[in-house]
Amino acid sequence: MNRPGVRVAEVEVHRDGAARVRGDFLADEVPVALVVDGVSQGVMLATPADLDDFALGFALTEGWIERPAELYGTELVTAPDGIELHLQLASARVWALRERRRLLAGRTGCGLCGVESLAQVQRVLQPVPAVAVALPALARAQRELATQQPLNALTGAVHAAAWCGLDGAVRLVREDVGRHNALDKLVGAMARTGAAPQDGFIAITSRASFEMVQKAAAAGVGVLAAVSAPTARAVRSAQALGLVLAGFVRGDDAVVYSGAERVLASVPLPG
């Protein structure tokens, strides 16, 4: 199979007391270096698909740029040990990035590896739009998301993040071995398509960590719905930012950890 993010391997399957050899699909993960002005700003292990979206989303959620237009272009360079994404940023943003000297030595699932000081962990972000959402919409989003993960359907090894309308309809999905990477790819895709943050919410197939809340808020999204639990720091951050945070969104159930006053019992009618 020639599909970005998927490799084929020969495996031995043991089932019901018998063994057989067959081909299997594996999720790919490669080191991806984010390079600005000739300097590597960090290396993340990521699935090599939708990397243009990843570059834009990462630059936005990490505060490297404030607007999509400040990323002039992305050049993908294949290196012996992985992939380099060369980001062409506006000159003012390059200067600011040099000053901040935020170096990330990333691993799959690690959103804060390599920050240089404790002060860099808690970023100053603006409160998010006050978006109301209905429980049935959260449930619909997770149901639809479960059917729109082609990489995970093949490999069973990747996370997904989805941009959903306030009715719960899934509009965009991005996948990656790292949950933070999947969210960054989604934010990049949202920016490219002109999605208005106040017109929907984000659903994720992982726990809601502090960094996931920060990235959602950096994108201006007011609701984050996770299939698993949040962390205590994620809840405190969501409360401070005015973000609706729901966890354990499974079937028709959910646990609301922040912004419960904006979670409705039913989907409001249009207009």
- Show the CA angle centred on residue 155, arms to residues 202 and 82, nearest 5°: 85
The per-residue pLDDT for range 64-73, each reduced to its tens digit, is: 999 999 999 9
Residues 167 and 247 in one domain: yes
**Mean pLDDT, residues 169-197:** 97
Taking 70 as the threshold, does the pLDDT of residue 271 lie above it? no
Tokens representing 212 are 């996931």
- pLDDT for 267: 66
pLDDT at 105 over 50: no
Q: Are residues 35 and 87 in the same domain?
A: yes
Mean pLDDT on 239-259: 97
Residues 259 and 145 in one domain: yes
- Kindly state whether residues 140 and 254 are assigned to the same domain: yes
Residue 24 within a domain:
no
- Asked if the structure places residue 36 within a domain, the reply is yes
Specify if 269 maps to a domain.
Answer: no
Q: Judge if 169 and 114 occupy the same domain.
A: no
40-65: average pLDDT: 96
Averaged pLDDT for residues 149-178: 97
Which domain-ending residue is among 97, 120, 143?
A: 120
pTM reported for the whole predicted model? 0.91
Q: Give residue 138's pLDDT.
A: 97
Residues 154 and 260 in one domain: yes
Q: Taking residues 52-68, report their average pLDDT.
A: 96
103 pLDDT higher than 50: no
Find the mean pLDDT for residues 147-164. 97
Local structure of residue 127 (DSSP, 8 states): P
Quick one: pLDDT at residue 122?
Answer: 62
Predicted local distance difference test score (pLDDT) of residue 265:
85
What is the band of 98 on the pLDDT scale with cuts at 50, 70, 90?
A: confident
Which regions of the chain does DSSP assign to beta strands (E)? 6-15, 18-27, 30-36, 39-46, 71-79, 82-89, 104-105, 133-134, 159-165, 170-176, 200-204, 223-226, 244-250, 253-258, 263-264
pLDDT at 104 over 50: no
226 touches 246 (CB < 8 A): yes
169 assigned to some structural domain: yes
Q: Is there a domain that residue 151 lies in?
A: yes
Residue 60 lies in a domain: yes
Query: Does the pLDDT at position 268 exceed 70?
Result: no
Active-site residue (options: 26, 90, 96, 110): 110
What CATH number corresponds to the domain at position 141? 3.40.140.10
The verdict on 145 and 173 lying in the same domain is yes
Greatest Cα pair distance in the chain: 64
**Shared domain check, 95 and 183:** no
The answer to whether residues 205 and 231 belong to one domain is yes
CATH number at residue 79: 3.10.20.10
Please indicate whether residue 110 is annotated as part of the active site: yes
Does some domain include residue 19?
no
> Is-contact 254 139, C-beta < 8 A?
yes
Tally of domains within the chain? 2
Q: How much is the mean pLDDT over the chain?
A: 91
Q: Does some domain include residue 144?
A: yes
> Residue 149's domain spans which residues?
133-264
Whole-number pLDDT of residue 124: 80
